[in-house]
Structure 1
Amino acid sequence: MNLKQLEYFVSVAETLNFTKAAKKCFISQTAMTQQIRALEEGIGAALFIRDKHHVELTPAGRVFMNEARVILARAEEAVKLARSAAEGISGSISIGFIRGYEQSLFSETLRNFHEAYPNISIRLIRENMNALYGLLEDGECDVAFNLSPNVCKFQELSHHFLKAYPLMAVLYPGHPLAARKHLSYRELAGEEFIIMQPKGRPNDEAEEVILCYNRGGYVPNIVSREKEVQTLLLMVSAGLGIAVLPEYAVRYYRNTRNLVVIPMLKEEGEKEEETLDFEVSWLMENHNPAIEKLLQWVKVMNVTE
């Protein structure tokens, strides 16, 4: 039994005429008769009572007609879903994002994308920078919203620049530098740093260490390494150290009483603010069509921020 036989059967059952059904299906009457006979043999039951002047469904034929219509409808729907998935209109996508980015307007990006493509299911993965690159390479993540300092190490990845985020020094209110409008790395040389450094991440991959060394000429005194932004900010507010974070991670804390957020300058005495590039990345060999839909949305609509 195959779908064509079901189509032929339904056509005969609806017209109760082999000649009309054959014309409707663009086959000969002989071929129609042979296909119906093969279907009945496969089922093991007669579906029609027929003679030269009369065609009628048997009880088995009436039951089978209802089921055949359901099967054909489901098959047609399956084809539509498959085509939609191939075009990226339905399906699924796993989206990774760096820890702290949930404090940004990332939720608006997700909401707008979901409204545009409601049949694409979304799975979210929150991780640190290098872990996200690894998940992309392993195929466990389709796209990642991430900082871009180390993307050159991953030759299999494509990436699209989104925005340069300012870097901010985060201090407790009683800190001697809390009244400053801007800060340079050299001015933080004697400070105790609390950094975002998930387990297993070496110091030479920490943005804070790289920037302090390149801009200020020193390796920062790290007193604590935290995995969550909220814990880091709580420690800063308690006076246990200072932090340097991208603007998106502290956007909603700039006007709080227990934290002071100050823009960082690239060089002491200059006006150019320090920034970190932010991007969306994906594995070149990942052919999930939903990726292109998300990328089009991000590029065209510019809804990331």
Structure 2
Amino acid sequence: MNIKAQEYFIQLAKYQNFSKAAKELYISQTALSKIIAGLEKEVGEQLFIRNKNTVSLSNAGLAYLNFAKKTVDLYQKSRKVVKDSLLEKGILRIGLTALNDTLFNAIGILHQRFPYAQIELYSDQISAEAFSSSRLDMVMLPEDEAGDLCCCVIAVRNQLYAVMNVEHRLARNKVLDFSDLENEDLIFSIEENGRLDTAYEYCVHAGFTPKVSFLYNDSKYQMDLILNSSAIAISFNLFRIFRESMDGLISIPINISRPIHDRLVLAYHPENKNPLIGKLIHCVESARITRQKARYDTFL
């Protein structure tokens, strides 16, 4: 039994006109006519009474309509069962180039909705070129590096922060200038190609040459370095809520004259059919709405 034929039959019964139904189904009127004729031959009954410009269901057609609707509904439910099973037991591999509140909130929402889905996070610094040959499903990249990949905007980098141990002598400041950091030991991340992260570049463009004392390629090392030394990490506003919730750390905004408005995206290949990709994108939107509402409630 052809499910498409059942769906076409239902649409023709709805519109009672071959031309309108064909337009809705994005097929030709001739093709629709052949499909309905084939269905009538298979059933062994005339399902429609043809008039000059319209059609109407015959008695057999009226009886068959209920069967067709149940068949299509059962088919759609069976597809959903299979898809949900893939989601429940699926794996989503994400490459991270930065820590981000919105992304981690979205992953939390995804886990609540699909508790048996497995989320694997990789902290490797990865380029769009390397992503094409990797086993990752998604990767966080600056928008201008994503190229032809499909993208979901995850964050906007618009502020530099100095992240330090709460015992640091600068920790009581509400805001810092680059001059305050001139002689401090600083921490930056480094990519696989040896390039320092974008936060370093913004410092240089602002006329400040950082004293780089520590480099890391995994964010957990950044936290360990800050907690166990007097070094300061310069980074963006991407994971501020997490940092501020950690005992022993404080984030202080840095004055910078050059506007920052870099967008980070979750990029993925359009041919990747992993259903968890679309679900995570929906969760990103949910996390963003929740965050905006929280800000609005705070303002009130």
| TM-score bin (small chain) | 0.5 to 0.7
Question: Residue in 1 aligned with 2:278?
Answer: 292
Q: Aligned residue for 2:296? A: none
Counterparts of 1:53-202 in structure 2, within 5 Å, are 80=78, 84-85=82-83, 92-98=90-96, 101=99, 104=101, 106-117=103-114, 121-130=117-126, 133=128, 136-138=131-133, 140-144=135-139, 146-148=140-142, 151-165=143-157, 166-173=159-166, 175-197=168-190, 200-202=192-194
Kindly name which structure, 1 or 2, has the bigger radius of gyration based on alpha carbons: 1
RMSD: 4.0
The corresponding residue for 2:265 is 279
Give 3-state SS (helix, strand or coil) of 1:277's partner.
strand
User: Structure 1: 5+ residue runs without aligned partners?
Assistant: 1-25, 29-75
Structure 2 residue aligned with 1:56: none
- Report Cα offsets for 1:117-150 as digits up to 9, x if no partner: 567x33313223425x456422512223x252xx
Report the Cα offset of residue 221 of structure 1. Answer: 1.8
AA in 1 matched with 2:121: I
- Partners of 1:88 and 1:288 in 2: how far apart? 9
| Offset of residue 83 of structure 1 | 8.0
Distance 1:254 1:294, change over 3 A: closer
**TM-aligned CA distance change 1:229 to 1:296, over 3 Å:** closer
Deviation at 1:213, TM superposition (A): 0.8
Give the one of 219, 224, 228 matched to 1:234.
224
* Deviation digits for residues 43-82 of structure 1 (CA, Å, limit 9, x no counterpart): xxxxxxxxxxxxxxxxxxxxxxxxxxxxxxxxx99x9359
Secondary structure, aligned partner of 1:130: coil
Normalising by the residue count of structure 2, what TM-score does the alignment of the two structures yield?
0.56
Percent identical among aligned pairs is 16
Query: Residues 134 and 85 from structure 1, CA distance in 2 versus in 1: closer, same or farther, beyond 3 angstroms?
Result: farther
**Structure 1: which amino acid aligns with 2:278?**
E
- Partner of residue 20, structure 2: none
Going from structure 1 to structure 2, the CA distance change for 1:224 and 1:158 (only over 3 Å counts) comes to same
Q: 1:243: how far off?
A: 0.8
Q: Residue type matched to 2:109 in 1?
A: N
Match of 2:65 in 1: none
**CA–CA distance in 2 between the matches of 1:89 and 1:234?**
35
Aligned to 2:241: 251
Structure 2 segments unaligned to the other structure (5+ residues): 1-41, 45-73, 292-300
Distance in 2 (CA, whole Å) between partners of 1:178 and 1:192 is 14
The CA distance in 2 between the partners of 1:257 and 1:84, in whole Å, is: 45
CA distance in 2, matches of 1:227, 1:304: 31
Looking at structure 2, the residues matched to 114 and 234 of structure 1 have their Cα atoms a distance apart, in angstroms, of: 27
Contact 1:213 1:219 in 2 (8 A): yes
2:175, 2:252 within 8 Å by CA — same for their partners in 1?
yes
Aligned-partner residue type, residue 183 of structure 1: L
Q: Give TM-score scaled by structure 1 length.
A: 0.56
Encode CA deviations 1:140-194: one digit per residue, 9 max, x unaligned: 12223x252xx42342312222332543202334544332211233442332211
Query: How many residues were matched structurally?
Result: 219
**Corresponding residue for 2:288?**
302
For 1:210 and 1:190, how far apart are their aligned partners in 2?
Answer: 18
What CA distance in whole angstroms lies between the structure 2 residues aligned with 1:255 and 1:288?
33
